[in-house]
Amino acid sequence: MTIDLSTYGLEEEQLELARLVRAFADEVVAPQAYEADRTKTLPLDVVAQMGDLGLFGLPFPEEVGGQGGDYLTLCLAIEALGRVDQSVAITLEAGVSLGAMPVFRFGTDAQRAELLPDLLAGRALAGFGLTEPEAGSDAGATRTTARLEGGEWVIDGAKQFITNSGTAITRFVTVTAVTGEAGGRKEISTIIVPNGTPGFTVEPGYDKVGWHASDTHPLTFSGARVPEANLLGERGRGFANFLHILDEGRIAIAALSTGAAEGCLEAATDYARSRTVFGEALSTRQSIQFLLARMQQRVHVARLAWLHAARLRDAGQPFKTEAAIAKLTASDAAMDNARDATQIFGGNGFMNEYPVARHYRDSKILEIGEGTSEVQLLVIARALGVV
């Protein structure tokens, strides 16, 4: 089955991009998804092809090497990839939102000139080190420190769950660190740390429940030294700057979640039509029809939610609450559709070679990463004035 995107008020260029990436997902990404998941290997050849398609540069101006598109168009690409392989989709999402976007948004001209060309072409990846063992949803509890000594930042601490931090093409990570105190509160700044810096160790990757082909590592810093010029953005504004990046990332995760929910719907619909039970197609049973109808409802509502948030963002209007609503709605849709699709597949749904099994494992993190569902509820409640 194919969902008609032309009913969502998209521009013709956006529809064409969505068709292009969906074809790429079906023809290039999907055939390798099971093996990449089984071997827990990020397919760098696929990443390179995504770079050739210009996907990493979609929301950036042409003058810095981008495609001159908007954030909505990027999210259409992420949704298309999320249908067939969440690991590949999150590699693109994190590569743009957490890797390149902070440099573009807050970097100096020199930092942009040095780092953006390869990031926007997909020749390099970068990670963003925010989460720590004691600082996740409460990022203000950051314990990693950076002090100036002889014109260099000396960094000590640890980060965890950092995407794209240990690939063969990872160029650097941007880390949040306490650089002092201001008004009795921690002064948190962001600092660029190139991979290979002495004292900076990318620890072995995690044994994760899902997103097996996505690169994720803990990081440790023990007296790691980088030039003072590696400060990204204004000193003491690191946490505040990241919150804006995080709001944008929630829209992208909502798009990825919508793609996952749609992938489950597509697979379950095709399976129900082809699977014969007691002499009849599974799809003739009303209980299955109702399950599929609910799944379609979730996909539609999730897509409307993230499209609305993305349009607000691209129009320069406030979108924080709408991004939270979109992420909450879409991640719920992904989990619910994965569960229902697995049930429709029966025993086959428990076998990893079937995409619904991988979606079932992968989708749980969508309710956790880029702000848990509970954090999204808190953001929405604050907007209502009840917190």
In Å, what is the CA distance from 210 to each residue of 38, 123, 284, 292, 361?
A: 11, 25, 33, 24, 5
pLDDT in tens, 56-103: 999 999 999 999 999 999 999 999 999 999 999 999 999 999 999 999
pTM over 0.85: yes
Which of these, 305, 187, 318, lies nearest to 247 by C-alpha position?
A: 318
Q: In the predicted model, what is the mean pLDDT of the chain?
A: 95
Work out the angle at residue 303's Cα, subtended by the Cα atoms of residues 292 and 1, and round it to the nearest 5 degrees: 40
- In the residue annotation, 114 being an active-site residue is answered as no
pLDDT at res. 277 = 87
State the residue for tokens 């996952």: 260
- The pair of structure tokens assigned to 4 is 């008609």
Euclidean distance between CA atoms 225 and 202, whole angstroms: 15
Cβ neighbours of residue 29 under 8 Å, at least 6 residues apart? Answer: 46, 81, 84, 85, 88
Which of these, 69, 93, 68, 85, lies nearest to 164 by C-alpha position?
A: 93
CB atoms within 10 A of CB 320: 20
Euclidean distance between CA atoms 136 and 134, whole angstroms: 7
Q: Which of 262, 322, 367, 370 is catalytic?
A: 370
State the residue for tokens 């100096």: 108
Euclidean distance between CA atoms 69 and 218, whole angstroms: 33
Residue ranges for the chain with pLDDT beneath 70: 1-2, 137, 139
Helix (H) or strand (E) holding 123: none
pLDDT at res. 137 = 67
pLDDT at res. 2 = 62
Q: Is 22 helix (H, G, I), strand (E, B) or coil?
A: helix
pLDDT at res. 332 = 98
pLDDT in tens, 303-317: 999 999 999 999 999
- The pair of structure tokens assigned to 218 is 């803990």
Domains observed in the chain: 5-124 (1.10.540.10), 126-236 (2.40.110.10), 240-384 (1.20.140.10)
Dump the DSSP string for 197-232: -TTEEEPPPP--SS-TTS-EEEEEEEEEEEEGGGEE
